[in-house]
Structure 1
Amino acid sequence: MEPMSQPEKRKLFAMSPVIVVLGLVSLFTDLSSNMIVPILPLYLTSVLHVQVGSIGIIEGITESTASILKLFSGWITDRVGKYKLLMLIGYGLSNLTKPFFALSASWNQVLMIRFSDRFGKGIRTSPRDALIADSTTKEERGKAFGFRRAMDALGAALGPLVAFGVLAMFTNNYRLVFWLSVIPGLIAVALIVFFLKEKKHNDTEKQSKLPQIGFRNLNRRFMWFSLISTLFTVGNFSDAFLVLRAQNAGMYPALIPLAFFAFNMSSSFLSMPIGMLSDRIGRRPVLISGFFIFAAVYFGFGMAKSVAWIWVLFVLYGFYYAFTDGIQKAYIADIVPEGQRGTAMGTYSALTGLAALPASIIAGFLWQSFGPMVAFSASSIIAILAAILMIIFRI
């Protein structure tokens, strides 16, 4: 094999300024959010004394809300082309809600705060993904989405690490963590305001091709991929249950944020290389591999008897995210033309997000009724079925 030339090396690692800014926004946003996410279930159960079933309802409702909103924000993105404005509204709303976690005194209040936070996520995600898709070619799209996912995972890794430090120094002071999470969130908003430059659109062309919500103007490959992914999501319940499983297996609560650090670091390291791999061999085999990895990891969580295995499984869980999260978005961008990608991203997110509601509620019911092994094993079976359907239908 001939050595790679300097221009090829530069092309390999070069990144559009738009992609770099969006990567940094994701880093600081997830740093902020993931200072909260790993400790919120512990705060609910140990401080507010909330039952596991109620946590499933909170997570299911809030995640489904975000996903439904992605459909409408995606449609609005294609209609008006205002990527930056929609992202600014979404990121701003999410970060304005974070201080209220520190003031909450009941699970109902936490539900409303999480609802507002996810409302913001629902507004911002589709225009962000459409902007990445429109700013890249098919040959480098996996790398771009992989880079954003890597920055997302890096922030998600640093968030629990900061939370661990605060909890260790201030004796499980959950409310202080909530207050401090505001700082990186504000940095993310500032990056959008001062550094993000969006692509200019031809208004005449856009008015002649206004998108419609739904599958009607989107191709069959997109439709079947979305439906199979929706089935997969029915088994992919909230990560809050991973926190509870770690605690259930005997992990000290203050160490759980470090387990999330390990999970997100493995995802961060792998996301860009796996994205580049999908540019070479195609998205489909990478996605199928990701579904099988998920099935194995969730079965492992159900069977784990020791804290040592929980640590290993959190690292392997990062592999699943690297093989699926950015790759799904890149695949949709490949099969849907420009001008419809916001609607397509939103439609996909709405369908998979609607499945998040029953996923978390069913998981909470199975856990309370039969134990964690049954809950995780059911998810593993659904993931295997989704992978087999991807193979059979050759989507």
Structure 2
Amino acid sequence: MYVADTRTRPAGPGTTPGLPVPPPATRAPAGLARRAVPATVLVLGAVSLITDVSAEMVTAVLPLYLVTGLGLSPLGFGLLDGIYNGASALVRLVGGHLADRGRRYKSMAALGYGLSALCKPALLIVHSVAGISAVLAVDRTGKGLRTAPRDAMISLAAPPEAQGRSFGVHRAMDTAGALLGPVVAIVVMHAAADGFDAVFTVSFCVAATGVVVLLLFVPGRVPQPGPAGSGSAKSGSAGSGSAGTGRGEPAAVSLRAVVSLLGDRALRRLTLCALLLGLATVSDSFLYLILQRDLDLSGEWFPLLPLGTSASFLLLAVPLGRAADRFGRWRVFLAGHGGLLVAYGLLLAPVGGAALPAVVLVLHGAFYAATDGVLMAAAAGSVPERLRSSGLALVQTGQVGARFACSLLFGAAWTTWGDHAALAAATAALAVCTAAAVALRPGRAALRPGRAAQ
């Protein structure tokens, strides 16, 4: 039973005599509020963990299924991989805008997760390139619809000084699912007579579970951080249109207001940098195929390669998120691309040994840990609260659209020149784009550690 402490404060400098002393139970440990990750972030992390188990089960076997099972050329695989990773580009803008209208973040995220889940059993009945292309396009449409609203919920629930850490925790949980997915795929492939169909079936069941968790446990309205950490941009931010929305009724969100976000210099340069760097980022699947050929791995062990990336991502996501909050999100973002350059260089270097693939995969995971959530944390500082989902979608669209183009170009280069010549061209392009991004410098919102734009 709780009994209030009725002791009063003695008079002293900076105190008011006669005020009651707060009960011990209400005294939070120093710094606890700053270290805490909002419950919304943790629940969304759980949803992403479950969903990524499902997605990575398919991703782990898909390159092998398409290249060896269906006999696709590298150019054909590049087209399908581009669809898989880039079809969501424009849809992200739609999902972001619809989520901002009436703050329907949860509803839009649930629609996206549900659409992707329904695509898993469709892979059981389509065996042509055209059919698989259509299924992958719908699956990535679901991803495009859900990503910006989900990231907006994370951004709005977390205080500005903890954006990097909150995105890091979410991405770590998401990556735990990515780590488990290939393991489950390997187990299913070994246990089932028709391994590919069994993987697609189990993947659907897991994806459906993620949708249920989202619907039951993610709050309908995102809890906002306190006044000191609202994360809202002031009325002077680009695209705000009015003096902010506060905590009252949401203001109307027009397409004109969304487009006007690019009037903000920092957000415009951040989007341009994400686009440039995406143009020279080789798809994960191509990287794994190069490693598989270099190591001469058998098909049943191919799903192990994504595990190295996922393990590194999992271990480094939170530390690099904290580093981004402390030292600057843009600096950490660029450092991640520097690590990717080193990974490409190692693949091209005339060196071998068992340690080389491990180092490449660790650097690959570190790249994602330093860029994925960190980019969203940097962008959140330049976007007003009422347009948060739309603003994050703008940055994501530039990046994903560029990676779609890179998949097509890399597939064509591989078909024409060979895998290592294509990788050499991509490495040179990444070096040039990284130098251009350093010169552009997006602005204070991305460079300043510890706070979002106010």
- The bucket for the TM-score relative to the shorter chain is over 0.9
Equivalent residue letter for 2:313: S
Matched, 1:18 2:40: yes
How many Å apart are 1:357 and its aligned residue?
2.5
Aligned pair in 2 of structure 1 residues 367, 25: CA closer, same or farther (>3 Å)?
A: same
Matched, 1:230 2:275: yes
Distance 1:230 1:71 in 2: 15
* Alignment gaps of 5+ in structure 2: 1-26, 224-244, 443-454
Task: Tell me the C-alpha RMSD between the 2 structures.
Answer: 2.2
Equivalent residue letter for 2:183: L
Q: TM-score, normalised by structure 2?
A: 0.81
Residue 58 of structure 2 aligns to a residue in which SS?
coil
Distance 1:76 1:304 in 2: 51
Distance 2:316 2:404 in 1: 29
How many Å apart are 1:364 and its aligned residue?
0.6
Residue 34 of structure 1 aligns to a residue in which SS?
helix
Distance 1:9 1:162 in 2: 39
Distance 1:318 1:18 in 2: 25
Residue 124 of structure 2 aligns to a residue in which SS?
helix
- Is the 1:160–1:257 Cα contact (8 Å) retained in structure 2? yes
How many Å apart are 1:102 and its aligned residue?
2.3
Q: What aligned pairs does 1:322-341 form with structure 2 within 5 A after superposition?
A: 322-341=369-388
- Using CA pairs under 8 Å that are at least 6 residues apart, name the structure with larger relative contact order, 1 or 2: 1
Matched, 1:372 2:424: no
The structure with the largest alpha-carbon Rg is 2
> Of the candidates 375, 382, 399, which is equivalent to residue 352 of structure 1?
399
Aligned to 2:134: 112
Identity of aligned residues (%): 30
- Describe the superposition over 1:326-354 as per-residue Cα deviations: whole angstroms up to 9, x where unpaired: 10000000122211221111111222222
- Is the 1:291–1:386 Cα contact (8 Å) retained in structure 2? no
Distance 2:55 2:378 in 1: 26
Aligned pair in 2 of structure 1 residues 216, 194: CA closer, same or farther (>3 Å)?
A: closer
Aligned to 2:334: 288
> Of the candidates 210, 213, 222, which is equivalent to residue 199 of structure 1?
222
- Describe the superposition over 1:272-298 as per-residue Cα deviations: whole angstroms up to 9, x where unpaired: 111011111110110110111111112
Aligned to 1:317: 364
Aligned to 1:388: 435
Aligned pair in 2 of structure 1 residues 76, 161: CA closer, same or farther (>3 Å)?
A: same
Which range moves more in the overlay, 259-268 or 90-99?
259-268
Q: TM-score, normalised by structure 1?
A: 0.93
- Is the 1:141–1:279 Cα contact (8 Å) retained in structure 2? yes
> Of the candidates 279, 285, 289, which is equivalent to residue 244 of structure 1?
289
Residue 87 of structure 2 aligns to a residue in which SS?
helix
How many Å apart are 1:8 and its aligned residue?
4.3
Equivalent residue letter for 1:135: A
Residue 385 of structure 2 aligns to a residue in which SS?
coil
* Alignment gaps of 5+ in structure 1: none
Aligned to 2:104: 82
Matched, 1:278 2:324: yes
How many Å apart are 1:12 and its aligned residue?
5.9
Equivalent residue letter for 1:114: L
How many Å apart are 1:213 and its aligned residue?
3.5
How many Å apart are 1:153 and its aligned residue?
0.9
Aligned pair in 2 of structure 1 residues 137, 186: CA closer, same or farther (>3 Å)?
A: same
Equivalent residue letter for 2:176: L
- Is the 1:229–1:386 Cα contact (8 Å) retained in structure 2? no
Aligned length: 391
Which range moves more in the overlay, 381-390 or 63-72?
381-390
